Amino acid sequence: MKIIHCADLHLDSKMNSLPTEKNRIRKEETLLSFEKMISFAKENGVSVIILAGDTFDTGKISAKSKSRVLYSIENAPQIDFLYLSGNHDEDGFVSSLEHVPENLKVFGSEWTYYVYGNVTIAGVVLNENNTDSIYDTVTFPENGLNVAVLHGQIAGYKTNSQAETISIPRLKGRNIDYLALGHIHSYSEGVIDNRGTYAYSGCLEGRGFDETGDKGFVLLDVTGNKIFKQFVKFSSRDIYVYEYDVTGKQNFLSVRDEIVSDLKKKYDEKSLIKLVIKGEYSADFDSDYAGLSMLLNEYFFFVKIEDKTVLQLKPDDYETDKSIKGEFVRKVLSSDLSEEEKKRIVLIGLNALKGKEF
């Protein structure tokens, strides 16, 4: 028996870090990834797909997403979809359906069990009323293989609500072989006890530059009396953060060429990249990050530049400079302004002398 464990699709999510057209494309790609995952399941003999929370980004689901998800489920009758609502989607999808397909099974606020031969899969939606009692009310059989499904954050990490907290120590000795978790958007795994393990599947598609790394789902292969797990990378695009230090650099054009060359070597043209430019630069460093952004967005799906550089002003560099620039910088540096104000005014003035808009 094969099982897919996925979570945090966040369909209908607004990707505010992207321009309008790129946002539209990425929203479509999140739906396509869900549909492609079901095609993968059909081709590889998967019997169950566990949706471990936040399938949608909100309880108010668009007609388009609802229609396509429902159609995908109905057209895979050989697969059971075990649906757990999360802290984002609540129960908006299932409650909006006029007819619930037979192969769409729902977990409620008490442990709900589904049995497939020697495999028992049980899940519960965490809330303020059951967050303490779920550990004592779960009743997995000692024999056979048991999969638990929860959506929340493991205790010890910051969380917005106590109801979203999961205690791994309190799950010890509960006959759990695998705990399918949702809520964290990157794959991670750990040990419950000498019998069971847990994993966050992460999301199928990263939505922002805080969601870098491989994205996909967990494929569980039940063979004999064991459950073997494998992370399957499945995202249509990858997201990266790339840092470049301009400290000591004198010529912006050579910096531009170095950045472009390095990014093209490292990353696929379908990538989303946040380029973080940092370090100290001199007043003579004639940067053009708007032009660099236009150039990079010709090569990649989307590149966002974050300028974290700091202007470095050395009075000695202008002490003997008899030009208008030198006189201007000396006047500003000798003033009673704060260091930040001096840097801002020098930068504006030097750009004006170069004929650049600031």
Phi and psi for 127 in degrees, rounded to 5? Answer: -150, 180
Give the model's pLDDT for residue 357.
Answer: 58
DSSP 228: E
- pLDDT tens, 245-255? 999 998 999 99
CB distance 80 to 35 below 8 Å: no
Give the separation between CA 282 and CA 317, rounded to whole angstroms. 10
- pLDDT tens, 298-346? 999 999 999 999 888 766 666 667 777 678 777 877 788 887 787 778 7
Give the model's pLDDT for residue 285.
Answer: 83
Give the separation between CA 41 and CA 232, rounded to whole angstroms. 12
CB distance 207 to 13 below 8 Å: yes
Q: What's the rounded mean pLDDT across residues 212-230?
A: 96
CB distance 238 to 205 below 8 Å: no
Give the model's pLDDT for residue 316.
Answer: 63
Residues of the chain with pLDDT > 90, as a percent, come to 70
Q: If pLDDT is split at 50, 70 and 90, which confidence band does 159 have?
A: very low
Q: Hunting for tokens 């922002």 — which residue is that?
A: 208
pTM summary value = 0.87
- pLDDT tens, 172-207? 999 999 999 999 999 999 999 999 999 999 999 999
Q: If pLDDT is split at 50, 70 and 90, which confidence band does 158 have?
A: very low
Q: What's the rounded mean pLDDT across residues 16-31?
A: 92
Strand order across the beta sheet in which 226-233 lies: 104-106, 80-84, 46-52, 2-6, 216-223, 226-233
Range list of β-strands (E), the chain: 2-6, 46-52, 80-84, 104-106, 112-116, 119-123, 145-151, 153-154, 165-166, 178-182, 188-191, 197-200, 216-223, 226-233, 239-245, 272-281, 302-311
